[in-house]
Structure 1
Amino acid sequence: MNPRLRPLVPAELDAEQRALYEEITGGPRAEGPRHFPLTDEQGSLRGPFNAMLLSPGLGRALQELGAAIRYRTGLGARQREIAILVVAQVWESAFERHAHERVGAAAGLTDHELLALREGRDPGFSDPVERATWAFVRALIGRSGVFDERQYSAARDALGERTLFELSTLVGYYSTLALQLRLFEVPVHATPG
């Protein structure tokens, strides 16, 4: 698969695009351990970030939402990656799956759990918060479109309303990225190593 959007190299960016580029490459995503590179050999942004440069105002808001989900919620690392990998599986987003399986493994998800998430099977989480997170995200994003009162009550009781808000925001954000990755046919090989 060839990407539909060519990589935008730093030298060709206008001032607004350059400012967003620097926010992405110099912000919290660039700090600490990185499980896949944000840029390629020419300095172009990888994955969903390259497309964000097309409309810097919207791209900035979108990347800020992603940073807030990743760095400013009460979600634990395993919990967050479980939710992201459920979204990747439902939307069949190879890029999200590839990138976040690495992050999930670093957060402690086992090979068995990662495979079950990839295949849409029950990973058998013994931790009640992780199990409730998996069940909630599967139900919320499920293809049936039904999320009934029983499911809501079970999720609220297990996770609390704040966590439901944070997880539903995560589902919306990563679903948006999955659609954009599909639209621009962003290849998995954009995350080497």
Structure 2
Amino acid sequence: MRLGKLLPEQLDAEQRAVYDAIAGGPRASGSAFRLVDADGGLEGPFNAMLLQPGLGGALQELGSAVRYRTAMTTRAREIAILTVARVWGSDFERYAHEAVAAVAGFRASELRALRTGDGVAFPDPADRLILDLSTALAERGDLTDDEFDAAREALGMPVLFELTTLIGYYSTLALQLRVFRVEAPASLDSGASATEDFS
């Protein structure tokens, strides 16, 4: 790791406000993965958000909106997030969101497929569309006219906006996780089945 954990006793008032919003906000209610380590430090991308609380606070608020205040289903959202994790090779995003997906009812075969981008495990047209759109957005950063038309017809423009925002947000986190060399914890505190090695 290139950034040590910023512990609660080290934080100024602005940093503490961001810390509290993450550790005590909607993410903390029944989180499928650990947000805070045994020493009180924030896990994953959240620790770095404390470096610049004005920007970090806005970023965590965007993440909260993406996770909890959109029309996307949990299933669609987790397919999209795990696609970003695959494209970026983000171990932490995969660790965290395989746990969320497992709690949401994803099968082990689906989680394996999301690690490789294999659409065969997703015969439902709605799932397949989200997977295909997310792959295009994460890999190419764009949609063809045909992909855009299919998205507009099936999802509607508001949800398409949500999807592009989600892909951008989790790509930003994947970049930060990579630059600061943040690894996934060795295991999930929740004991969710997502800890299984699907490879």
Deviation at 1:151, TM superposition (A): 1.1
Which among 118, 122, 135 is matched to residue 121 of structure 1? 118
Whether 1:86 and 2:83 are equivalent positions in the alignment is yes
Which among 129, 133, 141 is matched to residue 130 of structure 2? 133
Tell which deviates more after alignment, 61-70 or 34-43: 34-43
Deviation at 1:126, TM superposition (A): 3.0
Relative to structure 1, the CA distance from residue 123 to residue 48 in structure 2 (aligned partners, 3 Å threshold; closer, same or farther) is farther
Relative to structure 1, the CA distance from residue 123 to residue 108 in structure 2 (aligned partners, 3 Å threshold; closer, same or farther) is farther
The residue aligned with 1:109 is: 106
With the length of structure 1 as denominator, give the TM-score of the two structures.
0.93
Relative to structure 1, the CA distance from residue 87 to residue 123 in structure 2 (aligned partners, 3 Å threshold; closer, same or farther) is farther
The residue aligned with 2:195 is: none
Mapping for residues 55-94 of structure 1, pairs under 5 Å? 55-94=52-91
Amino acid at match of 1:136: L
Structure 2: gaps spanning 5 or more residues: 190-199
Whether 1:45 and 2:38 are equivalent positions in the alignment is no
Runs of at least 4 residues off by over 6 Å: none
Deviation at 1:192, TM superposition (A): 3.9
Relative to structure 1, the CA distance from residue 125 to residue 192 in structure 2 (aligned partners, 3 Å threshold; closer, same or farther) is closer
1:95, 1:187 within 8 Å by CA — same for their partners in 2?
yes
The residue aligned with 1:150 is: 146
Deviation at 1:148, TM superposition (A): 1.3
RMSD: 1.4
Structure 1: gaps spanning 5 or more residues: none
Mapping for residues 12-31 of structure 1, pairs under 5 Å? 12-31=10-29
With the length of structure 2 as denominator, give the TM-score of the two structures.
0.91
The residue aligned with 2:196 is: none
- Give, in whole Å, the separation in 1 of the partners of 2:175 and 2:7: 23
Aligned-partner SS, 1:105: helix
Relative to structure 1, the CA distance from residue 9 to residue 146 in structure 2 (aligned partners, 3 Å threshold; closer, same or farther) is closer
Deviation at 1:58, TM superposition (A): 0.2
- Give, in whole Å, the separation in 2 of the partners of 1:46 and 1:137: 25
- Give, in whole Å, the separation in 1 of the partners of 2:143 and 2:66: 22
Deviation at 1:146, TM superposition (A): 5.2
1:53, 1:59 within 8 Å by CA — same for their partners in 2?
yes
Relative to structure 1, the CA distance from residue 177 to residue 163 in structure 2 (aligned partners, 3 Å threshold; closer, same or farther) is same
Amino acid at match of 1:121: D
Identity over the aligned pairs, expressed in percent?
Answer: 57
Deviation at 1:147, TM superposition (A): 2.3
